[in-house]
Structure 1
């Protein structure tokens, strides 16, 4: 089996799963309890928080645990909107965000907020001039993903941060779910960035756990109220085994980041170079530094994406039709639509997404299978 769908989810590492199991069995007290079992659980919770803070280069009181990327995105957007609505109701995002951001913005529009969706060019990248023009006195939030989950475009986070230096009261949120471990952490954790979303299952941690980084001093309204956990900002008994396992997964990810990224880039380059020679091939992902090293999105003219996915699946190779969140719904990629890709081509798009467990030998096997399937598709469409 070759698994090329790592942007959808990753396999939990054995050592991470071992940590999850050990904490579940040995440290099962509630971190809010006053007795020794509770204190042990609380101490471990705070150790995990400090470890993640150290890895991200921030303070431990800026790390908040959530159920994953979707909740972190929702909290960043809606929490800002609720907290800062007396100062303005204008929000800015891009047309190529993850559904967790786009749909949150749509919901906020129904609640009376105004949203500007920045357009993108043919590579899926926003223009800084559009952002400058969109900024207003009543703007309270700018939300831009670091790496696009469908085509791998890296947005100009550093340049956006420089622009927003002149607007210190605006919250700047970065969805870094696809970026962590793929680009330099300092790129994500820019000093002007106020809120950052991470999701554990994208880097070999269990599902159902994530992080929202909130810069010290920035105010955010809670969306989940209850027992007052996470400094009274995100109530619910903490998922301690998953949190500790996520801290370990993040440490392992960043420890070998340079080596991992180099390997992923090699695999992507091999695939990219081979695929681009075909006449009926459209490549939506670039192969330079302006695109992430682990995502390659392409289409074969006249062959629907789901057909390609299942054809590869029959050969033991797993990829997806762009975003996993929309693949089963049969929806055209929102990113490709925003890039003005013709719908006939967009419905043929599929995504290969890599991680450090993939190999160049797997790329060779993929290429061999691709060549075989491509000829079959040509015969069917001729």
Structure 2
């Protein structure tokens, strides 16, 4: 059945359309389409086909914000559909408006900011800009895989330093690897371990890298910055602004709830950002993403509320696992890294949870035999998920999963 443009736009305000927009923004267009096909055009059910009828899947596998964007951001997305026929440079706000706003919020200038299709584009382009077959990548392991994966695809060498016993990025272990490196990648808080390196420690590390290997670039991924509750930590963006070849990557995919909208940015000194911008795809951030990002940045209360919500859910989940006899790394993100090795591997845990409708994270070598990543959903989702964890992990106590 064909639908006219006028009819489509008239339907934008309907509950079903708003629900679809919120789902696509928070989870991603591909997932929305896949589930739409699976459910015969009824994405609101979002059931996994292999589950019994009526059983809802709890998706805590991708470090997504379970609530999606704030209402103001969703309204901004819906409001741009009448301009969907226009290129981004013929719509408002412009990507330049987003760059200027980001610069203002970070005491920088527009030339210090480059936009990306999520922070993924920033990470991928950093590999292209700074690495070569003779200039390797130095990073922790496990960590977020994009830089390492792109480097290997391009035939560039990768050198890894294991995280420490507390699952924290071991900067002292990375330092001997930096000489001659094209790029050093630090995810902070680290994904998948959820742990945080202190800002002073990280600043000292950057200075040491600059001394040991002056031409080496340093990419600091602050994707989960908005979830940090350690009051002693401050962003290293000011350091990046005054230090050549240092870039901080940020994203709207996590606390802002826009994983499916794909907006991120890199920030650093002007000369470094100019190198990054040369690899940026024209009009890379779409009209909807720009509008949603600009609107979200003007709604700081929403992020404060999301941080508080996530902290409560995080505390509950960590305690639930502890009551079962399982410890977790100290989390500063919207996910936790749980030590389940005395019972099963991450793969066995994932498969067993999936059979009961709970989807947890993928394997993260070389610690996949012992550690599992669990993203944080809503409180209701995590109460249900921890009940599944009790069944799967067979704890010796029975107090887990009960909200105090």
**Superposed displacement of residue 7, structure 1:** 0.6
Secondary structure in 2 aligned to 1:25? helix
Query: What is the alpha-carbon distance in structure 2 between the residues aligned to residue 300 and residue 117 of structure 1?
Result: 23
Instruction: Select the residue among 82, 88, 92 that pairs with 1:25.
Output: 82
State whether structure 2 residue 167 is matched by structure 1 residue 124.
Answer: yes
- In the superposition, the TM-score normalised over structure 1's length comes to 0.70
Distance 1:95 1:243, change over 3 A: same
Instruction: Select the residue among 327, 336, 339 that pairs with 1:296.
Output: 336
**Residue equivalent to 1:162:** 204
User: How many residue pairs get matched?
Assistant: 326
Deviations 1:237-279 (A, max 9, x none): 3412212213333554x43545543443332222222322335
Deviations 1:224-243 (A, max 9, x none): xxxxxx6x542323412212
Say whether the 8 Å CA contact 2:167–2:329 is kept in structure 1: no
**Residue equivalent to 2:311:** 265
Query: What is the alpha-carbon distance in structure 2 between the residues aligned to residue 128 and residue 150 of structure 1?
Result: 16
Query: What is the alpha-carbon distance in structure 1 between the residues aligned to residue 68 and residue 372 of structure 2?
Result: 24
Say whether the 8 Å CA contact 2:111–2:274 is kept in structure 1: no
Distance 1:300 1:247, change over 3 A: farther
Instruction: Select the residue among 225, 236, 239 that pairs with 1:191.
Output: 239
Instruction: Select the residue among 368, 372, 375 that pairs with 1:353.
Output: 375
Q: How does 1:6-45 map to 2 (within 5 A)?
A: 7-8=63-64, 10=66, 12-13=68-69, 14-26=71-83, 28-32=85-89, 38=90, 40-41=91-92, 44-45=94-95
RMSD of aligned Cα (Å)? 3.6
**Residue equivalent to 2:111:** 61
**Residue equivalent to 1:324:** none
**Residue equivalent to 2:296:** 249
Query: What is the alpha-carbon distance in structure 2 between the residues aligned to residue 5 and residue 249 of structure 1?
Result: 24
Structure 1 unmatched ranges of 5 or more = 33-37, 223-229, 322-326
**Residue equivalent to 2:323:** 277
Say whether the 8 Å CA contact 2:261–2:288 is kept in structure 1: no
Q: How does 1:194-273 map to 2 (within 5 A)?
A: 194-202=246-254, 203-205=256-258, 206-218=260-272, 221=275, 232-238=278-284, 239-252=286-299, 254-273=300-319
Structure 2 unmatched ranges of 5 or more = 1-55, 398-404
Deviations 1:81-102 (A, max 9, x none): 26xx9xx724422222212111
**Residue equivalent to 1:226:** none
